Structure 1
Amino acid sequence: MIDGHIHADTRPYEDFEKMAISGINAAISCAHDPLKMSTSAVIFDHFDRLVNNDRERAAKNGLTLYFALGIHPRSISSDFEKVLHKLPKILKNERVVAIGEIGLETTSPKEIDVFIQQLRIADDLKAKVIVHTPRTNKKEVTEITKNILLENIEPKRVLIDHVDFTIVDSLIDEQFTLGLTVQPLKMSPKDAFILLNDYGLEKFVLNSDMSSSPSDPLSVPKTVHELRMNGFDEKDIQLVSETNAAKFFNIS
């Protein structure tokens, strides 16, 4: 199994062991806002911690980490241009598989500008992106996000995350990959089963988005169990729990 979106820097060492024991062999750890990202130096230190310290912590428990690095909409520093300048070099690291998580939180002009600039970098480099959708005004913000994406990057290189029942209809007919976040305050395994039963599994990737918020490192295997108990075929279960993520991120 692959957990398609976590925040490894917020989790204890033991969580990686739990994930590996449960059958998760890889995860994508995304850049975010673990503290006040006041300057580019803080953001670069955050990247360094993920790629070095957290990769090692996970590896000691048998879990392979890959990374999505970029400027989260809640992490826009006063000198964000320095981060944008270095992003192409950062993406050369073989463990960095996407720019992310990026997107919009409030749709402020600054957020939109930073989002578009990162999409243009991704488009130039033919890189993948993981796109955040917020809890607040989710439907309205997602619609703006979708329009920006369609204007600036090939949809097949975009994973839109934290998809739920309020926004899935507006995204399902596009070529995006869609992330289902199974987390106590977002979606239960039962909710994920209902959504996948209604919309199919071909476009979806499961993740826990485990962070400092209420989280469950076993969200993906618990959702797999829910699907299995409701009669889903094993090949279909593998699609949403591993194959789709491996294909999108080009990882084994």
Structure 2
Amino acid sequence: MAVSGIEGAITCAHDPLEMTSSDVVMAHFRRLVTVDPERAARNGLKLYIALGIHPRAIPRDPERVIEKLPDLLKNPSVVAVGEVGLDSGSEIEKDVFKSQLKVAEELGYPVIVHTPRRGKADITPQIMDVIDGTIDESMVVVEHVNMEVLPELVETECMLGLTVQPEKLTPEEAVEILREYGTERFVLNSDMSSAPSDPLSVPRTVQRMKMEGFSRSDIRRVSDGNIGDLLKISPI
């Protein structure tokens, strides 16, 4: 990634293990804020962190994590709450999601929100229902959006994440969306994880944008400008 010109990245808490208890979640968080920034720095990347309970990683005692979240967010590497959201739309997911949104709202942190791979059209409106009245939409990044949900989401004030990853969006599909909807509220990401991923998906998409005549300012907005402004960080 650094060789391709990327100077920084944001990594989110997710579901690398079966999160059976708050102890496992907290161990995951500790790795994110201690081990991973050092690994990234050794390879020429500045790493920023988002912490939160992913909907596929809810432990049996989520309240123990949520009560510690305000202190965890004080770490200087932590810039957002995330990745939080809904996956199946269960009541426990909604309760945990809303609790974390309240923490973010109270402390003034942006939120990175997961939308599911399957059932996206059904679950995304439920996600917006939880967001509504809990946190200002302008503080929210809704991730993994696609043409299935874009018509409704562009009517909100949320930033919209285009995940360029196998089985999600190709660079060509992401560019098609940007050509239709503009670059003002979008951010490109690779969603690097244990799922099939491409660490060069953002540079590939940037190259495609250059080839199709997008301006330098448009490219900068979606590659790092928009998200950098929201999270108050630079460079990415």
TM over 0.5: yes
1:151 to partner: Cα distance: 2.0
1:199 to partner: Cα distance: 0.2
Match of 2:8 among 26, 33, 54: 26
For the residue of structure 2 that corresponds to 1:243, the secondary structure is: helix
Q: Does residue 1:75 correspond to 2:57, yes or no?
A: yes
Q: Which residue of 1 aligns with 2:105?
A: 123
Q: Give ranges in structure 1 of 5+ residues lacking alignment.
A: 1-18
Q: Which residue of 2 aligns with 1:179?
A: 161
Alignment partners' CA distance in 1, 2:101 and 2:33: 22
Aligned length: 234
Q: Does residue 1:233 correspond to 2:211, yes or no?
A: no
1:56 to partner: Cα distance: 0.5
For the residue of structure 1 that corresponds to 2:2, the secondary structure is: helix
Alignment partners' CA distance in 2, 1:132 and 1:167: 13
Alignment partners' CA distance in 2, 1:83 and 1:203: 31
Match of 1:53 among 35, 40, 51: 35
Q: Which residue of 1 aligns with 2:225?
A: 243
Q: Which residue of 2 aligns with 1:143?
A: 125
Partner letter of residue 99 of structure 2? Q
- Structure with greater contact order relative to length (CA < 8 Å, sep ≥ 6): 1
For the residue of structure 1 that corresponds to 2:47, the secondary structure is: strand
4+ residue runs over 6 A deviation: none
For the residue of structure 1 that corresponds to 2:9, the secondary structure is: strand
Cα distance per residue 1:102-122 (max 9 Å; x no partner): 000111111111011111111
Alignment partners' CA distance in 1, 2:77 and 2:54: 19
For the residue of structure 1 that corresponds to 2:187, the secondary structure is: strand
For the residue of structure 2 that corresponds to 1:159, the secondary structure is: strand
Partner letter of residue 128 of structure 1? P
Cα distance per residue 1:15-73 (max 9 Å; x no partner): xxxx0010111111000110100111110110111111111111001101001100000
Alignment partners' CA distance in 2, 1:92 and 1:198: 39
1:183 to partner: Cα distance: 0.3
Calculate the TM-score normalised by the size of structure 2.
Answer: 0.98
Calculate the TM-score normalised by the size of structure 1.
Answer: 0.92
Match of 2:196 among 214, 226, 233: 214
Q: Give ranges in structure 2 of 5+ residues lacking alignment.
A: none
Q: Does residue 1:65 correspond to 2:65, yes or no?
A: no
1:198 to partner: Cα distance: 0.2
For the residue of structure 1 that corresponds to 2:11, the secondary structure is: strand
Alignment partners' CA distance in 1, 2:79 and 2:22: 21
